[in-house]
Amino acid sequence: MNQVLAVGYDLGSVGPTELAAAGRACGVDVVLVVDSTCAHVASVLPVLRRRFEVVDIAGLSTVDAAGEVARHRVDGVLTFSDLCLSTTAGIADRLGLKRWHSPAVTAVLLDKSAQRTAWAAAGLDTTRHAAVDAETEVAAALASVGLPAVLKPRGGTAGQHVSRVDDLDEALDAARRFFADAPRGTAMVAEELLVGDPDVAGEAFGDYVSVEAAVHDGECLPLGVVGKLPLVPPFRERGFFLPATLDAATTARVLEVADAAVRALGVRDGIVHTELKLTAAGPRVLEVNGRAGGHVPDLFERAFGYSVVETAMRLALGERPSAPDGSGDAVTFQYVFLPPRDAETVVAAERLAELRALDGIDLLDVRVRPGQRVDWRDGAFGRLGKAYGRVPDHAALADLVRGIEDTFHPTFTTGRPT
């Protein structure tokens, strides 16, 4: 009889197709745990029910949700969605399943301010930060943090509502718009702006990286360092690639800092995604996420033939992970199409055939239509699409990025506040 994994499902880094394939490869039965009142889940629920056993926990307490999941005699619990981290931690705790984040660790993983407090206590990082629970606290937070600063949700994901602020008026405006739309009880954090050194990764590339790691019994096994393209203002991710451009010494230091950051948060098991800024003084930790990065499973599969999803499933069952074998023979990338900050609606998106014909692009997934509303504050969730491909080396990637940006210029109505 197969072992059974309960997977908390909502919008995240892994979709139903990947979950089903990984479950088959691992020889496990996947049970999806969902909240049918969530918009994304509701939109795909008929498909999910055709492919999986589904446990709908909408409206249930953690105790009752755990009881429903227990009916399936599950051997492990995990998720690939920030939206499900708290729920899966509570269920795992109630069922005595130890190969997932505890509720206490999950609370820190979902709170960027608490992470910085933990790193400071561990002597790892002293980036100035201050919690902002209401618009009235912005001035005091900036007095503590200094300017320029970064203002972002304490529990945000996908780069949503992240702003650079250079004066008090900008900060108040960003906070006012955030708190007007956010659910009650949602908070922000103000952080010191970390300045990257473009020479570390190279002028054509981003001044930050991520480390993907598998944690087993508190031991952090690095799976790889993912390089980034330069951010789209203010802090939106333009693209990702493997391998990164870092030299051996910088890579070693990045891995050391990432390992220390994960340990300081008390993570014992699971896949983690750690982002670090490449400064002139060395790598500085930005945040740790308690699940795979949104782009990571695809990149590792195409670059190394390595399944991050399978690894996560095996970790949830208590198996010791293995790292990818080899460094790949090319540069594997994703390029993300994003709207400008002042864009409101799409007018036209032309020259897609020319874009698709660019050497190095294997798959173009651009889904835009005239009249489509866009908002930069949606971060990665507001993307227009992606390009996927492989090129011989990093110089070829830089050339291709220039080609993409010379070719594709969607037009928009404008006027949105930036």
- Are 51 and 143 found together in one domain? no
Whether the pLDDT of residue 70 is over 80: the answer is yes
**Each residue's pLDDT tens digit, 338-366:** 999 999 999 999 899 999 999 999 999 99
**Each residue's pLDDT tens digit, 190-223:** 999 999 999 999 999 999 999 999 999 999 999 9
Question: Which residues span the domain enclosing 389?
Answer: 198-414
Asked if the structure places residue 45 within a domain, the reply is yes
Asked if the structure places residue 110 within a domain, the reply is no
- Are 242 and 350 found together in one domain? yes
Long-range contacts of 67-75 (CB under 8 A, 24+ apart): 69/6, 69/31, 69/33, 69/95, 70/95, 72/4, 72/6, 72/31, 73/4, 74/4, 74/5, 74/6, 74/31, 75/3, 75/4, 75/5, 75/28, 75/317
| pLDDT average, residue stretch 370-383 | 89
Asked if the structure places residue 63 within a domain, the reply is yes
pLDDT band at residue 377 under the 50/70/90 scheme: confident
Determine the pLDDT at residue 418. 64
Asked if the structure places residue 372 within a domain, the reply is yes
Asked if the structure places residue 102 within a domain, the reply is no
- Strands (E) located in 244-303: 270-279, 282-289
Whether the pLDDT of residue 185 is over 90: the answer is no
Contact 289, 82 (CB under 8 A): yes
- One DSSP character per residue, 143-176 reads HHH-SSEEEEETT--TTTT-EEESSHHHHHHHHH
| pLDDT average, residue stretch 244-264 | 98
Q: Which amino acid is at 350?
A: E
Single out the residue in 192, 211, 230 at which a domain terminates.
192
* CA gap 228, 242 in Å, rounded: 9
- Whose tokens are 């948060």? That residue is 265
Q: For the domain that residue 32 is a member of, what is the CATH number?
A: 3.40.50.20
- Are 250 and 345 found together in one domain? yes
- Are 404 and 364 found together in one domain? yes
- Are 358 and 389 found together in one domain? yes
* CA gap 393, 301 in Å, rounded: 18
* CA gap 402, 283 in Å, rounded: 27
- Are 392 and 257 found together in one domain? yes
**Each residue's pLDDT tens digit, 142-167:** 999 999 999 999 987 777 889 999 99
- Are 78 and 136 found together in one domain? no
Q: How far is it between the farthest Cα atoms of the chain? A: 62
- Are 206 and 328 found together in one domain? yes
CA angle 34, 77, 75 (to 5 degrees): 120
- 81 phi/psi in degrees, rounded to 5: -130, 130
- Are 231 and 271 found together in one domain? yes
Total domains in the chain come to: 3
| pLDDT average, residue stretch 251-267 | 99
Contact 51, 44 (CB under 8 A): no
**Each residue's pLDDT tens digit, 73-118:** 999 999 999 999 999 999 999 999 999 999 999 999 999 999 999 9
Asked if the structure places residue 107 within a domain, the reply is no
Exposed/middle/buried for 396, CB within 10 Å: 0-12, 13-18, 19+?
middle
- Are 363 and 274 found together in one domain? yes
Asked if the structure places residue 117 within a domain, the reply is no
- Are 174 and 227 found together in one domain? no
- Are 181 and 220 found together in one domain? no
Asked if the structure places residue 182 within a domain, the reply is yes
* CA gap 241, 228 in Å, rounded: 6
Q: For the domain that residue 298 is a member of, what is the CATH number?
A: 3.30.470.20
> Closest by alpha carbon to 89, among 73, 74, 77?
77
Mean pLDDT, the chain, integer: 95
Q: For the domain that residue 153 is a member of, what is the CATH number?
A: 3.30.1490.20
Whether the pLDDT of residue 36 is over 70: the answer is yes
* CA gap 220, 211 in Å, rounded: 11
